[in-house]
């Protein structure tokens, strides 16, 4: 990574943060080349989760956070040296094949861009090695912050559903979703109601507990961290069969409504 090259006086972000950022970018980021050949790196979030964009800006030490509308904010950099740093981070470390395709186009644009203007930089050789996620780094936490969903519903007749879901567009990304089932030793991948979209679902209290050790170790930085905590607390109540008690069940039903109340629902797959 070219962090020291361009920002020698800044502290290099931790490997945990950088790996999280790669995962989060694969969910929420955009690699943009405009008609003039200028580049921009953008991460978009609901304004209610603006703090995660400010967190990224603070840790990286560059970029701007801009309020795009009443409900949307963006982290943006169009600086040549800063984008060079980000290209060096993402090159060879992206997991989703579809995201790799857009990054390849971005790097091709980058290699033209860096030969023009006052600041000239070295072109980059694309490294598009195929890789799969593991549970030994923060990539999956970042990706979950972007695309994951913790859900629970409890009905008046003691029935309930308890799930962890991740949806992705494009069949080319199916191998990654299927690999999640390997990582967590359970779960199914099926077609989503959205066209050309697929969903990994881990369902049931016994299966969903398989994610606890991972998320307890690798931090979620969006408001999904609050969703996860509440979801996990309700899991404990279900294990204790509190939902069989009428008064406790009513209270649990209200709490389940809060799990995803604050989350950004603007997924980009």
Q: What is the pLDDT of residue 219?
A: 96
pLDDT at 158 over 90: no
pLDDT, tens digit (0-9, with 9 covering 90-100), for 73-90:
999 999 999 999 999 999
Q: How confident is the model at residue 1 (pLDDT cuts 50, 70, 90)?
A: confident
**Longest Cα–Cα distance in the chain:** 70
Predicted TM-score (pTM) above 0.85: yes
> Is 268's pLDDT higher than 70?
no
Tokens of 247: 């008064």
Whether residue 252 has pLDDT greater than 70? yes
59 contacts 13 by C-beta, under 8 angstroms: yes
Rounded average pLDDT over 1-5: 93
Q: Which of 79, 88, 63 is nearest to 2 (CA)?
A: 88
Q: How far apart are CA 189 and CA 183, in angstroms?
A: 13
Taking alpha carbons only, the member of 25, 124, 121, 137 closest to residue 75 is: 25
CA 151 to chain centre: 17
For 227-242, how does the pLDDT look when each residue is reduced to its tens digit (9 = 90+)? Answer: 999 999 999 999 999 9
- Return the SS3 of 185: coil
Dihedral, 111, 80, 103, 263 alpha carbons, nearest 10: -170
Q: Which fold has domain 139-256?
A: Endonuclease I-creI (3.10.28)
Secondary structure of 75-92 as H, E, C letters: EEECCHHHHHHHHHHHCC
Q: Is 88 exposed, middle or buried (0-12, 13-18, 19+ CB in 10 A)?
A: middle
- Residue 136, strand partner residues: none
Q: Which residue ranges make up each domain of the chain?
A: 3-113, 139-256
- For the chain, percent of residues with pLDDT exceeding 70: 97
**pLDDT surpassing 90 at residue 266:** no
Of the chain, the percentage scoring pLDDT greater than 90 comes to 94
Is 45's pLDDT higher than 90? yes
Residues 76 and 155: their CA atoms lie apart, in Å, by 43
- How many CA atoms lie less than 13 Å away from 125 in the CB half-sphere? 1
Domains 3-113 and 139-256 share a fold: yes
pLDDT tens digits for range 203-219:
999 999 999 999 999 99
CA 102 to chain centre: 17
> What values do phi and psi take at 266, rounded to 5?
-90, 60
To the nearest whole number, what is the mean pLDDT of the chain? 95
- Whether 265 shows a pLDDT value over 60: the answer reads no
pLDDT number for residue 263: 58
Token pair, residue 43, equals: 């991460």
Correct CATH for 3-113 of 3.40.50.720, 3.20.20.140, 3.10.28.10, 3.40.50.920? 3.10.28.10
């Amino acid at each position: 990574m070219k962090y020291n090259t361009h920002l020698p006086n800044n502290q290099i972000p931790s490997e945990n943060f950088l790996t999280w950022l790669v995962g989060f970018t694969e969910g929420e980021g955009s690699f943009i080349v405009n008609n003039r050949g200028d580049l921009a790196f953008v991460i978009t979030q609901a304004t209610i989760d603006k703090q995660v964009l400010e967190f990224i800006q603070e840790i990286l030490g560059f970029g701007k956070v801009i309020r795009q509308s009443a409900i949307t904010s963006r982290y943006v950099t169009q600086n040549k040296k800063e984008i060079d740093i980000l290209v060096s981070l993402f090159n060879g470390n992206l997991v989703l094949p579809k995201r790799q395709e857009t990054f390849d186009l971005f790097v091709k644009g980058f290699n033209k861009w860096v030969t023009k203007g006052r600041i000239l930089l070295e072109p980059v050789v694309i490294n598009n090695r195929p890789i799969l996620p593991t549970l030994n780094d923060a990539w999956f936490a970042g990706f979950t912050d972007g695309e994951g969903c913790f859900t629970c519903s409890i009905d008046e007749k003691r029935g309930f559903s308890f799930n962890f879901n991740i949806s992705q567009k494009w069949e080319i990304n199916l191998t990654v979703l299927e690999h999640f089932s390997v990582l967590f030793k359970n779960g199914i991948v099926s077609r989503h109601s959205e066209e050309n979209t697929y969903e990994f679902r881990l369902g049931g209290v016994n299966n969903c507990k398989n994610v606890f050790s991972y998320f307890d170790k690798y931090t979620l930085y969006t408001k999904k961290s609050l969703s996860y905590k509440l979801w996990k607390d309700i899991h404990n109540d279900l294990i204790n069969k509190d939902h069989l008690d009428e008064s406790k069940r009513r209270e649990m039903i209200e709490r389940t409504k809060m799990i995803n109340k604050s989350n950004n629902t603007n997924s980009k797959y």
